[in-house]
Structure 1
Amino acid sequence: MSVITEYDSLLLDLDGTVYEGGRAINHAVSSINSSGLPVMYVTNNASRAPEMVAAQLREIGLTETSKSDVMTSAQAACLMAADHIPAGSKVYVLGTDSFRDLAREAGFKVVASADDSPVAVLHGHNPETGWAQLSEAVLSINAGAQYFASNLDSTLPMERGKHIGNGSMVAAVSHATGVTPLSAGKPGPAMFHAAATTLSSSKPLAVGDRLDTDIAGGNAAGMDTFQVLTGVSGYFDLLRAIPAERPTFIAASLQDLTKTPDELRAGAQGGFKALIDGSVLTLSGGTPTSSPIEALRTALEVAWASDMEVSHVDPEGPEAIRVLKSWW
């Protein structure tokens, strides 16, 4: 029985999970298309409108995707702002034109300057954001505007590697104002609950590549979580994950949705054994056909049961040495 038979929907992250820099990640499209489950794409990327995200997904082979299948953190930020400021309020949007359009659709009046006395700043990712736009946000907040962020991701995975994320830009504004924004995106649970409600899903599976946003957010929403090793968080990140960021299932990619739940949980696999002494974890055993992720799941059961963070992994034997090379 595969893991997807245990759930009635998939809440999928995008960057690092489904695609990277617009390029489909191996096995992602075929795995989603064959899952047979309703899907909502829940993304912290606020730079593109839902219809643009849906179009991109159709281009990579997810042909049945529409804008109603996408929930961005920009949408979530507009919903959050609506809970704190009256309809028709002036807002300064630090983000893309699509974020401004969403703010208008939410009933706000979008202004272009701090001189227009906005009552709130909505901050989302935009590759074109520079000093002038950040300064307008700072001036608005210092004049009393409330501060809302679509998300606080420090990095954004792209084809060339990790680029600056919205959280790093937010940090500049916070440093200049002393104000920490309310964040609408992951790791908060709001987007996950809204996505599940939209799908009328009672048992969704939250899927992502990043422990501190996708997995922490799904866990916070009380959902089972499925970590893929195709994006930001890697083997050693999982070993050192705090309890709030530990996934239910650990997978190499979305292709592992066809595996059984027991195969994907932390526990001894592939003939490996793990022991921990202080902060040093020793990995041994294995066979020539054992995989790096089987070794990881074996190590995770021991590491997560320990009171100490793993500082070093010591491989014993040829198979442990072989798989450990793939962890870097």
Structure 2
Amino acid sequence: MRLTDEHDGLLLDLDGTVWSGGEGIAHAVDAIQASGLPAMYVTNNASRSASDVAEMLRNIGLTAHESDVLTSAMAAVTMAGRYLEHGDAVYVVGAPSLRKLVRDAGYELVESADGDPKVVLHGHNPDTGWRELSEAALSLQRGAKYLATNLDTSLPMERGLMVGNGSMVAAVTSATGVVPEAAGKPEPAMFEQAASLRGMRRPLAVGDRLDTDIAGGVAAGMPTLHVLTGVSGPLALLEAPPAHRPTYIGADMRALAEDPDALVPGAQEGFVARLDGSAVVLTGGAAGASSVGALRTVLEVGWAGADAPVEVRAESEAAEAAVSAWR
């Protein structure tokens, strides 16, 4: 049995899951195509329009249309409707695509706090600087509602982790004390909306970041697959609170074709784990055993306790090799 046999659709994160810096991550495209399942791409990155994202997906070999993409920018504009009436003023910190969504929704874009915006809508834009953040801060001081597309502190790119929207939001919050309401993951609404758009009844949420992709899927009551190709690595998994713990753990997107029973935390590949105080002791390991097999073995024991273990102690040659590969 394959993991995909248990589901009727995929809710896929992009950065760190499908691509990095716009380049397809190894095995991701082939795995998605081979799954045979419809896919919705659910991304916290608000710097691109849905049509641009779909074009980028086609450029790496995937079949994708604008209707297959749901961005946090789209979700944020929907959220803004709770606080705005047609023609109300909005100050946008974000990309041109976010400004277009706001304009198309019937709101007035203002260029500074002097335009008396009712809402500050903050999304990712690599060109955001001091001026834009300061105008947002001034708007909030004058009573505007603060909404963010997402709160991701970092953004996986080909050179490494870049500054994400959440870090820019943190600067405004530091200056004003105002914490925004966020539209994107880990809120469950994006997952629920994406599944509804494609009529999915048994979707699988897939991502690389525990505090957004996985937490959002868990909050929506959906099975989740965490892939080790992006932000959250093995040590983050070990320390994850229950609300951030995935159903399945895979090295990469090839996990979609693997037996689901082999992807859940549990002893495998000859490894044995036990709890010793605040440490998980890992021993054994068959010839050719993988680091992700060791990880699943450790997680079963580490997640069973009331507190997350503070270390993993390897006491076999295979265990040492596996744990070294995590770092």
TM over 0.5: yes
The CA deviation at 1:323 is 1.2
Deviations 1:25-52 (CA, angstroms, capped at 9, x unpaired): 0000001111111110000000011111
1:28 aligns with 28
The residue type equivalent to 1:117 in the other structure is D
State the alpha-carbon separation in 2 of the partners of residues 318 and 225 from structure 1. 32
What does 1:129-148 correspond to in 2, within 5 Å? 129-148=128-147
Corresponding residue for residue 8 of structure 1: 8
Q: Deviations over 1:148-198 (max 9, x none)?
A: 000000000111111100000000111111111000000000100110110
1:37 alignment partner AA: L
Deviation for aligned residue 1:88? 2.0
The aligned residue for residue 49 of structure 1 is 49
| Distance of 2:10 and 2:308 partners within structure 1 | 31
3-state SS of 1:15 partner: coil
Whether contact under 8 Å (1:278, 1:308) holds in the other structure is no
The AA in structure 2 aligned to 1:125 is: H
Identity score, percent: 57
Larger CA deviation: 103-112 vs 16-25: 103-112
Query: Given the alignment of the two structures, is residue 170 of structure 1 paired with residue 169 of structure 2, yes or no?
Result: yes
**Could you list the runs of 5+ residues in structure 2 that have no partner in the other structure?**
none
Q: CA deviation at 1:116?
A: 0.8
One-letter code aligned to 2:236? D
Shift, 1:263, TM fit: 0.6
Q: Name the count of aligned residue pairs.
A: 327
How far, CA to CA, are the matches of 1:308 and 1:143 in structure 2? 44
Instruction: Please report the TM-score for the alignment, with normalisation by the length of structure 2.
Output: 0.99
Moved over 6 A (4+): none
Q: How far 1:84 sits from its partner (Å)?
A: 2.2
Matches within 5 A, 1:209-224: 209-224=208-223
Q: Give the drift of 1:122.
A: 0.3
Q: Which amino acid aligns with 2:290?
A: S
> Deviation at 1:87?
2.4
SS in 2 for 1:305: coil
Contact (CA 8 Å) 1:92, 1:110: kept in 2 or not? yes
How far apart, in 2, do the equivalents of 1:106 and 1:283 lie? 55
Q: Using the TM superposition, give the Cα deviation of residue 308 of structure 1 relative to its aligned residue in structure 2, in angstroms.
A: 2.3
1:188-246: CA deviations, max 9, x gaps? 00100110110111111000000000000000011010000000000111111100000
Shift, 1:280, TM fit: 0.8
For each residue in 1:47-91, what CA deviation from the matched residue of structure 2 results, as whole angstroms up to 9, or x when unmatched? 0111111111111111x2111111110000000011222222110
Partner-residue secondary structure (3-state), 1:206: strand
CA distance in 1, matches of 2:5, 2:311: 37
Show CA shifts across 1:273-292 (max 9, x none).
00111211100001121110
Deviation at 1:251, TM superposition (A): 0.4
Structure 1: how far apart are the matches of 2:240 and 2:138? 38
Aligned partner of 2:181 in structure 1 is 182
Counterpart mapping for 1:193-208 below 5 A:
193-208=192-207
Give me the TM-score of the superposition, normalised by structure 1: 0.98
The corresponding residue for 1:19 is 19
- Tell me the distance in 1 between the aligned counterparts of 2:102 and 2:254: 37
Quick one: distance in 2 between partners of 1:57 and 1:27? 14
> 1:93-123: CA deviations, max 9, x gaps?
1001100001112221111111111100000
Task: Write the letter of the residue equivalent to 2:321.
Answer: R
2:250 alignment counterpart: 251
Matched, 1:227 2:226: yes
Q: Distance between the aligned counterparts of 2:116 and 2:75, measured in 1?
A: 23
The match for 1:83 is 82
1:318 paired residue number: 317
Quote the Cα distance in structure 2 between the aligned partners of 1:178 and 1:239.
32
Q: Which residue in the other structure is 2:281 paired with?
A: 282
Letter in 1 for 2:299: L
**Alignment partners' CA distance in 1, 2:118 and 2:315:** 61
Q: Which whole-Å CA distance do the structure 1 matches of 2:196 and 2:108 have between them?
A: 28
Q: Partners in 2 of 1:278 and 1:315 — Cα distance?
A: 15
Alignment partners' CA distance in 1, 2:232 and 2:105: 34
